[in-house]
Chains A and B, each alone.
Chain A
């Protein structure tokens, strides 16, 4: 390797060299040391001139590396806190390496491979792909499963990406939310707690900054782009997510509808397969979470279903069918 290498060093080589250099240093390296000595920077470093471009490059690289879970930390020089030029950078080995007592069996590895396959859209598919590279680094050889599975979760809602980012960075977000039956969207300012997928739909569980207390927001009812604020909040404990899930289960348990289905119809076959459905003759007792979404679903079955109770659901399905009939008259 000569120092006179061509200046076009591939990005991955520069990033790789940066990680290696910062892993190898106990005391840390100053920005100047990094820019003047590390492969990929040193070729572009000017001893006398202006290195502003290179410094900006280093800032971006730091972000990219941290995004991969590499714990790049900064140390203040003793007695010079706040002096940016003397900040020292390093990657503490203990926080970088997978703890030695963590290993995965072949069965677990097979399962994790499948779990990663679930994501095939958006940046989360890239994250699961990288997680699998790290897993394979451990060298575990997997067994082939007997039957092929191709499970897949979708993240179609445009709000999904910005909300996961906000969740990750613990920043308050703002968005317009349109409740069913209301004419205009209301602006909500919330601290995200969790993104929860239930019955195929994503919702945001968050603390409402104006109303106080926690609320659930269906992502498909978010009608404006997500605005990320500069307000940070303290991360919520995992128990907050568990509580939200328990509450959703509770809602599902308590909300039931009595629906008469046409025997042998699509409605009879498919509605009876919904979780926790009970049947008495042609009358099904169905559980649901959200009256508006459930009314939409039932309206799709047209004359195959007749809602008996609750009255609110009955009226909602009826008015939906009348609306559709009118729209197509």
Chain B
């Protein structure tokens, strides 16, 4: 499909360039895994104390874990405890569970507990991560109530073991388009708007909104597009004149499979060789395909970027003056040259 469903680059988005938005690696260093597991154990105990009997399935759903992870943790809790007066881990010094219930019914019943009475506090960094996340979310229309957010942040600070680190996100204020999308979702009706695609073409679109996504300062709508009869991603800052219609939506989030990544590559992508200052290379990380050959020389990297057309490339490169230079193919160089020269000529 020749249509450009992709938004511009993340960060300073440029139309028509096609970042591939890497999935962050789940791989963690060994000690971190143990820390996660410890946190889970310290969190699971108070939860079990509040539930006389809970199924492994319910606990798994609640903590977002696999059932086997829950069983493993419960088995460990069941044999853990404190050295006690004899320093011998006597029976009364240990947690106990109903082992029959666990093994036969997949149910968790904590029958004896030691040492732990309550949920742990947040660490200073954990609280800081949530507080900064909340600040970022305060630009969402349903969170326009700043006092509610402020009281939640105060609670997190008070629930932390030390003063949360000063990590802060300045939100840009609520976006009107976001508010309209919310309205159409609440009413279950279609949304219509003018959309300027990355090739510079204007079109009136009618969509069923599915999900709102963002990368830093840029916001996107993923929606079922009635014009294209497919899921499309729209940059909010390219949407003009949005209107909430009275037509009910035909596709809900449950009907459509949304890919996890915001941007997808396509077989029609163009490959362009560029030189970029090594220090600026992370800014282009999203455009560099996996397995691209990268050579470094005198602080500059020669690598390959993937774009859907030169409309996007010329904007991207022109926004990195002196930092990134297109090497090949010649028509890509020419596209960038002509774009910059046309811009410069306006000042003569």
Contacts and interface: CB of A to CB of B under 8 A. Distances in A.
A280 B10 CA distance: 29
Interface stretch (A75-83, A99-107, A208-216, A225-233): A99-107
B334 interface: yes
A119 interface: yes
Contact of A150 (B214, B336, B337): B214
A87 interface: no
B257 interface: no
Interface stretch (B263-271, B287-295, B320-328): B320-328
Contact of B122 (A69, A95, A100, A297): A69
Interface string A265-283: 1100110010100000000
B116 A68 contact: no
Interface string B174-213: 0000000110011000000000100010100000011111
B329 interface: no
Interface in A84-100: 93, 95-100
Given A16-B41, A136-B47, A148 B212 contact: yes
Contacts of B317: 324, 328
A264 B283 CA distance: 28
Interface in B270-292: 279-280, 282-283, 285
A198 to B, nearest CB: 4
A195 B166 contact: yes
A156 interface: yes
Given A1-B94, A136-B63, A197-B170, A306 B35 contact: no
Contacts of B160: 69
Given A126-B28, A128-B126, A164-B125, A11 B321 contact: no
Interface stretch (B80-88, B104-112, B224-232): B80-88
A300 B34 contact: no
Contacts of B127: 131
Contacts of A200: 11-12, 216-218
Interface string A303-317: 111100000001001
Given A3-B88, A151-B137, A139 B50 contact: yes
A127 to B, nearest CB: 5
Interface string A36-59: 111100000000000000000000
Interface in B24-66: 24, 28, 30-32, 34-44, 46-47, 50-51, 62-64
A147 B43 CA distance: 29
A318 B347 contact: yes
Contacts of A329: 337
A325 interface: yes
A291 interface: no
Interface of B: 10-12, 14-15, 24, 28, 30-32, 34-44, 46-47, 50-51, 62-64, 76, 79-83, 87-89, 94, 114-134, 136-137, 140, 143, 152, 155, 158-163, 165-170, 172-173, 181-182, 185-186, 196, 200, 202, 209-218, 236-238, 240, 253, 258, 262, 279-280, 282-283, 285, 314-322, 325-326, 333-334, 336-337, 339-347
Closest 4 CB pairs of A and B: A69-B123, A300-B319, A115-B133, A200-B217
27 contacts: A12-B37, A69-B121, A102-B158, A111-B152, A115-B134, A131-B129, A134-B39, A134-B126, A136-B63, A137-B47, A146-B186, A148-B212, A154-B10, A164-B167, A195-B165, A196-B169, A223-B279, A235-B163, A264-B196, A296-B12, A299-B321, A318-B344, A321-B340, A321-B341, A328-B325, A328-B334, A328-B336
Given A69-B120, A327-B322, 16 more contacts: A19-B38, A20-B80, A24-B115, A70-B42, A116-B130, A119-B133, A121-B24, A124-B129, A130-B123, A134-B43, A147-B182, A147-B185, A150-B211, A156-B285, A197-B136, A269-B237
